[in-house]
Amino acid sequence: MQDCQKCKDYRDCVGKPWYSYADYRWCPWQVIWVIENAEIMRRGNWPLDPDKFLHTDPQIRSGYRSEASYVKAVIILAEVELRLTKAGVRGQLLRAEILAGLELSQESWNTLMYVQGRRRKRMSYSDWLKQRKYRGSNEAVF
């Protein structure tokens, strides 16, 4: 399994079943993972690694000293949801297809490309899509 911190291109990756906060790089596979785990993250918990069944003492808090333990999960989820909201109905379609376990349609794949990335897109989804079509980069890479 590839190390997300060294990954340079999402096309060379197939994703992982779990990501730590340190792994999070805003690639499409990680955005899909956040959407799938939204309910856990909404409660302020980072999803547990399915490969490790470690028992942690509830008195031990993980996270950074200057923040509450739930902050990172909530921040990541809020940003993904904001980006999906900016995509409008297509953001809802993307969420529905992911949660239903369906193969992403071309329209949803385009929306995922809008949502992913370290920085939030400045332009609206419709303007971004027009620019993408104009540049000829509308091919899906599954």
Give the tens place of pLDDT for each residue, 62-107: 555 566 767 889 999 999 999 999 999 999 999 999 999 999 999 9
pTM of the model: 0.81
Locate tokens 């993904």: which residue? 80
Q: Could you tell me the pLDDT band of residue 52, with boundaries at 50, 70 and 90?
A: confident
pLDDT digits (tens, 9 = 90+) for 110-123: 999 999 999 999 99
Cβ within 8 Å of residue 73, ≥6 positions away: 21, 40, 41, 44, 45, 46
Mean of the per-residue pLDDT values for the chain? 83
Going by C-alpha positions, the residue among 24, 28, 4, 10 that lies closest to residue 94 is: 28
